[in-house]
A = this chain, B = another copy of it.
Amino acid sequence: MGVEETTAPVANVPWQQITPDAARRLVIAAVEAFAERGYHATTTRDIAGRAGMSPAALYIHYKTKEELLYQISSVGHCLALRLLEDASSGEGTPADRLAAAVRAFTRWHAEHHTTARVVQYELGALSEEHLAEIVDLRRRTDRVVRGIIQQGVDAGDFAVPDLAGTTLAVMSLCIDVARWFGSERRRSPEELGGLYADLVLRMVRPAAC
């Protein structure tokens, strides 16, 4: 509903793939509102108002308020997955690729922290079927990162006693950026990505030398 199946490159302008224009304006308004106050505290009147429409206009483009959330969650998760897959299939050592993945994933959560907040913290409001789809996307995301770390271990570059646990910690660190980013202004998404890539490499590096 509103998303075109496309192999077009991931745009830097967000939500470009959503048409028509009114549907896109609604999604952007919903992201803002959901990020600010949460899904349940946001009214359909508020969303429609931010998009410059009457409440009824929302239901021409989306069957329910939940479908709007699903749209945001779906697009966001697909984007995050593609970011990680790109980093994973890049050039260089496992350390290079892990650093690239963490940098990209962190940057995305910082740069689009409003979207990321909705994507990461409002899963509970999805319907059962929609949630199942999203959970599957998250599993795939996890697998990509675990794969990179596994390769580093196999190559002898990393020393990781608990692969699943370390993967979880790495993902968790990046995701939590969405929670606090914006409340402290001093750090840019790029700087943060660099810092986090460094910290993660330290986590997987062998202790002795």
Interface-lining segment among A55-63, A80-88, A199-207? A199-207
| B contact residues around A209 at 8 Å (CB) | 208-209
B contact residues around A125 at 8 Å (CB): 38, 41
> From DSSP, what is the main secondary structure of chain A's interface residues?
helix
Closest to A159 in B: B202
Chain B residues whose CB sits within 8 angstroms of the CB of A187 once the complex forms: 165
Expressed in whole angstroms, the minimum distance between the Cβ of A127 and any Cβ of chain B is 14
**Which one of B37, B124, B207 lies within 8 Å of A124 (CB-CB)?**
B37
A contact residues vs B (CB 8 Å cutoff) = 37-38, 40-41, 120-121, 124-125, 161-162, 165-166, 168-169, 172-173, 175-177, 179-180, 184, 187, 192, 195-196, 198-199, 202-203, 205, 207-209
